[in-house]
Amino acid sequence: MKKCLYRLIFSSLGAFTALTQAILIREYLVSFQGSELSLGIFYASWFFWVALGAALAIKHSSASKHLLTFLSIYALAAALQFLVFRNLKYLAGVEAWELLSFQKALLLTVFANAPISLLTGLIFTYGCWYFKNFTSSSKDAVSSAYIYESLGSFLAGICLTFLLINLINTALIILASCLFLSFLSAVSSVVLKNKGERAFSFSVLALFILLLAFRIPVNRAIGTLRWQTILPEAELIDEIDTPYRHLAVAEYKGNLVITSDGKILVNLTDRIAAEQNASLFAAMADLPVNILILGEGSENKISSLLSFQVKKITNVYQDRRYFYFLKKHAPDEIKTIFQDKKTEFIMQDPRKYLADTAEKFDLIVINKPEPSSLYANKYYTKEFYKLVKKALSDRGVATIKISSDKNFLGEEIRDYGTSVYQTLSNVFEKIVIVPAETAWFFAGNNNSPLSQSADELFLRADVYTPGDFKFKAAGIYSLLEEDRIEFVKNSYLNNPIIENLVNSDNRPLTYFLNLLFSLRYADSRLVKMLKIIFLSGWMVFIFPAMILFFLRICYLKYIDSSIDKRFIFSAKLYQFFSGFSS
């Protein structure tokens, strides 16, 4: 009976840890608007506290008799850490718009990650000692513990995926998980006849039952708490967690905005910006009739483009839940695009769609997030642009936007823009840049109607732009100032490392340069260090490995001649580098 109970405890421990970690990472990325760098900080601090927890458990082995109390504390710690992550910026005194420095992000993450990860190391180590009562050796006990914990983690992954697909709120998932773990602790205290821990376990269980009973006001309060770290001046209307992101709709300074993972994705009521983009697209592509838009957040552009003489607009993105969320909350002028016979919405990975489609388009708008992650980088590579080129008609035009500056290009902004420009130049014959804080790159073949002449584009826009647009054709001149275009283009072409900045699937440079661009105001020393490593090439990784190999040889030859000790040292070294590589 006891053996089965401990198996259940370890399986539940693995499930709870995996589920909690996955949700905490989602909350962490929303709070910090993070990338792979923030994920690295998260996992580094997580494993640091796990290791420290295991070390404390070994030093204070007598506390293992309170395993069930630690399980109840584990549930409380998960709920607490969830709340901390939701309000991390506020607790740190950081404004919603402020970009965290590397040092501050590291410090915040290390301390915020402590409760769950420290207890993970403690509980797992103490649990292994309990397993020793049912196995023949210590290694069998550890193996059994890992097996059941891994089984629980596997089942939790499947369960969490199902819950997120069905839009179950993450706060409710955390609350239900804590309730289950506290229930298991309370029941175990009865089965094991542990009166000393029974009162505490049942008290924690009662607390989570109470919270679950009032889950609606609790969830509303938690949602409001997170919103204060995203757009504190906005009024939150609704929010959901899709399998791909956290989405929210809010009223912000008289505008209706959609946020994705804490960043404003689209302003649904910004008509002038949408009309400006639509007029620029129509002029550059010389009135395209078959248009493909890749990515979410293009609804106001589609609404404006439908005012031109287009035959079809196809919008492709992967998140089906976003589509229904938007239809529910979009203003009336945006909702018309969903009924228009000229529009088609396809829920598919844009890259796969381009690879499979035989249709040809006059204009392809790449409206994907900037490459702040390796996943997003796949929409900025040479291989992706080749798929885009294949889907263009003979006179077709493709366009993509990036963060930039129209008057001054710092080194990080320049390198980032150069990578996009150089990668496009490796695929397309003609490139036109429209510099601004959000710069547009237009690309096409020699037969494409692309032009950087403001006069020529004005004449096209004057003919094509609808009369009821607030944006007038004369505005083209403010977008295409020749001296600014030449300044930006020459900055890219004269970049001394331009030949090394082609972005590909196997060499994701644009993603790396976007990371430096994002950190430019946060920590200049970190930016310089990362860039030195980047320019140093593969030797920066080989050199430390050679030093470690040389030291290992010296150790074996001159310091330790005991075979048994060598085995122990080799095992610990192997464990260390296995963890480091992971």
Sequence spans of domains, the chain: 2-227, 235-265, 270-518, 539-581
- pLDDT value at position 574? 45
As a whole number of angstroms, the distance between CA 12 and CA 9 comes to 5
As a whole number of angstroms, the distance between CA 137 and CA 131 comes to 10
Strand-pair partners of 249: 238, 258
Q: How far is CA 196 from its chain centroid?
A: 44
Report strand pairing: 235-241 vs 343-347.
Answer: unpaired
- pLDDT over 90 percentage in the chain: 36
Closest CA to 501 of 425, 420, 387: 420
Tell me if residue 397 falls in helix, strand or coil. strand
153 or 219, greater pLDDT? 153
Q: Encode pLDDT of 179-206 as tens digits.
A: 999 999 998 888 877 777 888 999 999 9
DSSP-assigned states of every residue in 252-304 = ETTEEEEEETTEEEEETT-HHHHHHHHHHHHHHTTS-SEEEEESSS-HHHHHH
- pLDDT value at position 475? 92
Does the predicted model carry a pTM greater than 0.85? no
Q: Which spans in 402-468 are helix H?
A: 411-425, 454-464
Distances in whole angstroms, Cα of residue 536 to Cα of each of 511, 531, 540: 18, 8, 6
Backbone φ, ψ for residue 251 (5° rounding): -95, 120
Taking 70 as the threshold, does the pLDDT of residue 562 lie above it? no
Taking 50 as the threshold, does the pLDDT of residue 566 lie above it? no
As a whole number of angstroms, the distance between CA 400 and CA 419 comes to 13
Please state whether 331 falls in left (phi above 0), alpha (psi between -120 and 50) or beta.
beta
- pLDDT value at position 540? 65
Q: What is the 3-state secondary structure (H, E, C) of 196-227?
A: HHHHHHHHHHHHHHHHHHCHHHHHHHHHHHHH
Tell me if residue 188 falls in helix, strand or coil. helix
Tell me which CATH code domain 270-518 carries: 3.40.50.150
3 CB neighbour count, 10 Å cutoff = 13
The mean-pLDDT minimum among 63-72, 433-442, 554-563 falls in 554-563
Q: How confident is the model at residue 108 (pLDDT cuts 50, 70, 90)?
A: confident
Q: Look up tokens 């080799």; give the residue.
A: 570
Mean of pLDDT over the chain: 83
Contact between residue 430 and residue 441 where contact means Cβ atoms under 8 Å apart:
no
Indicate the burial class of 117 (C-beta count within 10 angstroms; 0-12, 13-18, 19 or more).
buried
CA dihedral 218, 223, 227, 232 (to 10 degrees): -40
- pLDDT value at position 522? 52
Per-residue DSSP letter, 33: T
Fold topology of 2-227? Growth Hormone; Chain: A; (1.20.1250)
133 CB neighbour count, 10 Å cutoff = 10
- pLDDT value at position 305? 95
Tokens of 498: 């331009």
Closest CA to 181 of 285, 77, 36: 77
Taking 90 as the threshold, does the pLDDT of residue 564 lie above it? no
Identical fold for domains 2-227 and 270-518, yes or no, is no
